[in-house]
């Protein structure tokens, strides 16, 4: 995806420096050329050797002992960059760049580059909110430096607040999105569902399934990176939604049905990766059910089939995509779901396979497309699968 593109990463002295390793590794997986510059203080927080091995390139540090080489390298590095990413960026490095200070390898190279510069800050929340840091960031934004905003949470120092480095995946998505400039879904509304539904029996018990939401969230991330206007209707899950999408949280299938039908009105693409419970308890008790010595029979009634409902009101030009979770007869079962729900595409996965399906980060899928085309895919990450699915959707 990023073959032929060079990302120069500047790692500064924030405690989150170790996360640079994951950022580099994710960029390498996308086939980018990665070159790393470390500030002196960052080398005390993560080893040069680690970043050298992951980036497969020499790591540049503050080589004051070799001024000649340093002079040449900072210009050639600056020129080679398609994107310059500073992650993590400390208050100090942001301040230096904003003030035009160029006194080490990183700040000198930043000053010499014509590439787009992305800055992912990470620091203590009091430092982040300090008016000087805020003013420096405002200034850099005003001259078109792009910030990948930090999140909130418990910070390394034990404080709670803003200043946590954005997730490596979010950072890489932003950079990759810029590099591919694949704004192929700009102006399109994409409606996605993810996760399980939960169907209450009483105030303490419910019926659900093993869906983690990872597949649907990966799909949302991909749609965002293609510039779409994304609405994600999510059942209860433990993962953070990707930045830049509108998240609507629901619990039951009935709630999901209502929201999805409402949101589908002006959607161009609808992808249902949620694992919707087909049944719900006929009675939801207001109070906790007390045990007795007898067997307990729970009577269930059918939930709406959301995809089927969508197919009944489908507008011309709308693309409807389903997922099929199967444990046997994968293709035959997926095919009949595709026909029954009148889908344009179905992504079938065998959830009984090891290292694939529910809860896993990977998936092995077969894509069936309206008109009879079939694509059998290898085991791959859910993010990679999302890319392939959206490539196919765009063809439709």
Q: Which of 1, 154, 157, 283 is catalytic?
A: 157
Q: Report the C-alpha gap between 32 and 54 in whole angstroms.
A: 12
| Minimum CB distance to ligand CTP, residue 316 (Å) | 21
Piece in contact with ligand CTP (CB under 6 A), picked from 8-16, 73-81, 230-238, 321-329: 321-329
Q: Are 331 and 366 in contact (CB under 8 A)?
A: yes
DSSP state letters, 103-123: -SHHHHHHHH--SEEEEEE--
By CB under 6 A, residue 306 contacts ligand CTP: yes
| Minimum CB distance to ligand CTP, residue 207 (Å) | 13
By CB under 6 A, residue 337 contacts ligand CTP: yes
Q: Report the C-alpha gap between 105 and 165 in whole angstroms.
A: 23
| Minimum CB distance to ligand CTP, residue 302 (Å) | 8
φ, ψ of residue 249 to 5 degrees: the values are -95, 135
Q: Report the C-alpha gap between 165 and 17 in whole angstroms.
A: 9
Of 190 and 274, which CB lies nearer to ligand CTP in the complex structure? 274
Q: Are 395 and 321 in contact (CB under 8 A)?
A: no
Q: Which residues fall within 8 angstroms of residue 41, CB to CB, at 6 or more apart?
A: 12, 13, 90
| Minimum CB distance to ligand CTP, residue 337 (Å) | 5
Other beta carbons within 10 Å of 170: 20
Q: Report the C-alpha gap between 84 and 117 in whole angstroms.
A: 5
The binder of ligand CTP chosen from 37, 253, 369, 393 (CB under 6 A): 253
Piece in contact with ligand CTP (CB under 6 A), picked from 70-78, 179-187, 221-229, 318-326: 318-326
Verify whether residue 157 is a known catalytic residue.
yes
| Minimum CB distance to ligand CTP, residue 195 (Å) | 10
Site for ligand CTP in 257-296 (CB under 6 A): 272, 274-276, 278
Q: Report the C-alpha gap between 126 and 332 in whole angstroms.
A: 58
Of 42 and 197, which CB lies nearer to ligand CTP in the complex structure? 197
By CB under 6 A, residue 215 contacts ligand CTP: no
Residue with tokens 């269930």: 300
Piece in contact with ligand CTP (CB under 6 A), picked from 40-48, 64-72, 94-102, 303-311: 303-311
Q: In whole angstroms, how large is the CA radius of gyration of the chain? A: 24
Residues lying near ligand CTP in the complex (CB under 6 A) are found at: 253, 272, 274-276, 278, 303, 305-307, 322-325, 337
- Catalytic residue IDs: 157
């Amino acid at each position: 995806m990023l073959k032929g593109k060079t990302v120069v990463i500047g790692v500064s002295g924030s405690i989150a420096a170790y996360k640079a390793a994951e950022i580099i590794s994710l960029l390498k997986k996308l086939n980018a050329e990665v070159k790393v510059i470390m500030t002196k203080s960052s080398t005390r927080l993560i080893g040069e050797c680690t970043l050298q091995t992951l980036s497969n390139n020499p790591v540049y540090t503050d080589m004051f002992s070799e001024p000649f080489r340093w002079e040449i390298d900072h210009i050639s590095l600056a020129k080679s960059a398609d994107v310059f990413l500073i992650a993590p960026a400390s208050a100090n490095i942001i301040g230096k760049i904003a003030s035009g200070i160029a006194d080490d390898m990183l700040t000198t190279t930043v000053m010499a580059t014509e590439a787009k510069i992305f800055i992912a800050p990470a620091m203590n929340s009091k430092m982040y909110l300090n008016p000087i840091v805020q003013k420096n960031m405002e200034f850099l934004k005003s001259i078109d430096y792009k910030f990948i905003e930090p999140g909130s949470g418990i910070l390394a120092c034990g404080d709670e607040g803003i200043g946590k480095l954005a997730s490596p995946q979010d950072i890489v998505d932003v950079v990759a999105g810029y590099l591919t400039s694949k704004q192929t879904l700009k102006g399109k509304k994409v409606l996605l569902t993810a996760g399980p539904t939960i169907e209450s029996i009483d105030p303490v018990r419910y019926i659900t399934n093993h869906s983690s939401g990872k597949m649907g969230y990966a799909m949302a991330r991909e749609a965002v990176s293609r510039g779409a206007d994304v609405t994600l209707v999510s059942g209860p899950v433990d993962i953070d939604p990707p930045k830049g999408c509108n998240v609507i949280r629901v619990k039951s299938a009935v709630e999901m049905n209502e929201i999805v039908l409402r949101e589908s009105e002006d959607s161009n693409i609808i992808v249902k990766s949620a694992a919707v419970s087909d049944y719900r308890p006929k009675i939801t008790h207001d109070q906790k059910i007390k045990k007795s010595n007898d067997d307990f029979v729970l009577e269930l009634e059918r939930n709406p089939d959301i995809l089927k409902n969508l197919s009944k009101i489908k507008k011309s030009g709308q693309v409807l995509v389903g997922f099929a979770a199967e444990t046997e007869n994968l293709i035959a079962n997926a095919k009949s779901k595709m026909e029954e729900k009148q889908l344009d595409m179905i992504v079938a996965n065998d959830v009984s396979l090891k290292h694939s399906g529910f809860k896993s980060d990977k998936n092995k899928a077969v894509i069936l497309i309206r008109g009879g085309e079939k694509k059998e895919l290898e085991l791959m990450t859910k993010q990679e699968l999302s890319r392939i699915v959206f490539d196919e959707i765009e063809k439709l």
